[in-house]
Amino acid sequence: MKQAEERLFSTGVVAEDLMEKAGQACSRAIRQFFPVPGRATLFVGKGNNGGDALVAGRELRKQGWRVEAVLSGEPSEMTDLAAKKLAELAAEPESKWAASNRMGGGIVVDGLLGIGARGPLRGIIGERAEQLNHQRLESNATCFAIDIPSGVDGDLGTPYPGAVVADITLSIAAIKAGIVQDVAINHVGRIAQIGLPEIVFAESCNSSVVLSPGNLAGLLPRRDFDCHKGRAGRVGILAGSRGLTGAAVLASTAAVQSGAGLVTLYAEQSIYDILATKASPEVMVKPIDCFEDIREDAVEVLAVGPGLGVEPDPALLDLILNDPRPMVVDADALNCLARWDNSFDGLAKCGHQRLLTPHPGEMMRLFPEAATCENRFDVVDDFIKQKSFQGVLLYKGARTLIASAGQPQAINSTGHPGMATGGVGDVLTGICAGLIAQGLSLYDAACLGSWLIGRNAEKFVYEGLQSAESLTARTIGSELGLAFDALRNGEF
């Protein structure tokens, strides 16, 4: 970042122009998550990170927000540029209609330290960070960190003592390596990349990519005017068992919501009556006597596993290994793979397209070697290499990772703690299957599906329709058009 900025400034661009663009972009990002004006408290350091926060606060005040700044020293101690932005904020009149008690505890903005800081937070900076963290908790405020949470190492992600706890980190120009590390997750929260096209990097790294509208929007299927259900893709879902029929309903409904033209839910005879009643009316529920019954059905993509609840069954394993159609393999189908010796040898040799979607518990059963890996990145890399896996791995979690041989490792940026509820993985399986049926590759569908489900969860919470406690998988899987529109509109 420092080298890129120096190159930019050598062309005649001045630091103030960059600060203005960064701060204004941060203001827009904040208003995306909170479109109704509220109260904002800026915690401002002495350097340019504080200047970015002050520009954002000035722009929020113009939009009707009630903004106050908490300094970490006298204005005379600030850099000239930061001091100038403080004066501009003070000169910006507060609207008589400025928000007062709206939006609960409002927001706090961390502009104390930038990416160059190292070590524990001390002195007045430490006091201000403690004050910010206290206000976030006591007032139920949402914390936005400018570029990086103060006290988090920009390279390693290590949170030093006293580090700021952010809910959303607005990473300017480029995603810093530290903020995607496992150790930083609870200090970084949601990542939003604030693009600054003026900054160009001399070197690029293709080993990983953070998912955003910039690299996902082009994947959305654009339909011809004469498109019909047969051309929008046919999905078959093998899911559900006695006591676990909800998983089948969630997965099949999500496939419909993701745009699949025709969705068939295969139900064993013992649960057919239940699913025929519970399933969405758009879903065709078809009774089957055994797994072989779906082999000749005219569906283009299969999703197998949610709520299946079966003991290891040779017929199910045979379906997973040998059916030629693209397949999303989840939940109990993953457990089936894990419990049969040499199943991955068969998976490596079959040559069929497979997307595996394990959560950490399922991953440990599939790949016990994960216990010795230092982080989630190593888990997926080692799995791909050691299992000679030629498909796509979607490793679920607060930072969902998508990996495939020959592709950059993808890191999902969206999501909310309210997603920690049963059934969300079933919804993701249905979304991915629906996207594959519409022509996306398994890798692209996994990337897009992960972003969409996380963004939809955010929409319900940040627009005040749900809380972290009340959010359910059924809610997240409904109204998926909110997330599709958010992506098309370029929301973070």
* pLDDT for res 308: 94
Rounded CA-CA distance 113/72 in Å is: 10
* pLDDT for res 204: 61
Q: What integer is the mean pLDDT of 196-200?
A: 75
What pTM was computed for the model? 0.94
Question: Looking up tokens 């008690």, which residue turns up?
Answer: 101
Phi, psi at 402, each rounded to 5°: -120, 130
pLDDT band at 246 (very low <50, low <70, confident <90, very high): very high
- Burial (CB count within 10 angstroms: exposed 0-12, middle 13-18, buried 19+), residue 264: buried
Lowest mean pLDDT among 97-111, 154-168, 279-293, 342-356: 97-111
Q: What integer is the mean pLDDT of 28-34?
A: 95
Q: What integer is the mean pLDDT of 212-221?
A: 91
What domains are defined for the chain?
Answer: 2-204 (3.40.50.10260), 217-488 (3.40.1190.20)
DSSP string, 313-335: -HHHHHHHHH--S-EEE-HHHHH
Rounded CA-CA distance 300/8 in Å is: 50
Percent of the chain at pLDDT exceeding 70: 97
Rounded CA-CA distance 303/449 in Å is: 14
* pLDDT for res 196: 80
Helices (H) and strands (E) in the chain, counts: 18, 16
Q: Say yes or no to pLDDT of 218 above 80.
A: yes
Lowest mean pLDDT among 153-167, 314-328, 340-354: 340-354
**Could you report the per-residue pLDDT of 135-152, keeping only the tens digit for each?**
999 999 999 999 999 999
Q: Say yes or no to pLDDT of 5 above 90.
A: no
DSSP string, 414-450: ---GGG-STTHHHHHHHHHHHHHHTT--HHHHHHHHH
pLDDT band at 100 (very low <50, low <70, confident <90, very high): low
Say how many C-beta atoms besides its own lie within 10 A of residue 89's C-beta.
Answer: 22
Query: What is the 8-class DSSP label of residue 192?
Result: E
* pLDDT for res 139: 94
* pLDDT for res 202: 64
- Across the chain, mean pLDDT equals 93
* pLDDT for res 205: 56
Q: What integer is the mean pLDDT of 391-415?
A: 96
What end-to-end distance do the CA atoms of the chain give, in Å? 21
**Could you report the per-residue pLDDT of 274-291, keeping only the tens digit for each?**
999 999 999 999 999 999
Q: What integer is the mean pLDDT of 200-222?
A: 82
Rounded CA-CA distance 45/113 in Å is: 6
Tell me if residue 395 falls in helix, strand or coil: strand
Question: What is the torsional sign of CA 379, 380, 384, 389?
Answer: positive
Question: Looking up tokens 């497979």, which residue turns up?
Answer: 354
409-411 vs 208-210, strand pairing mode? parallel
Question: Looking up tokens 């793979």, which residue turns up?
Answer: 337
The amino acid occupying position 265 is L
Q: Are 413 and 192 in contact (CB under 8 A)?
A: yes
Lowest mean pLDDT among 38-47, 73-82, 219-228, 413-422: 219-228
Q: Say yes or no to pLDDT of 43 above 90.
A: yes
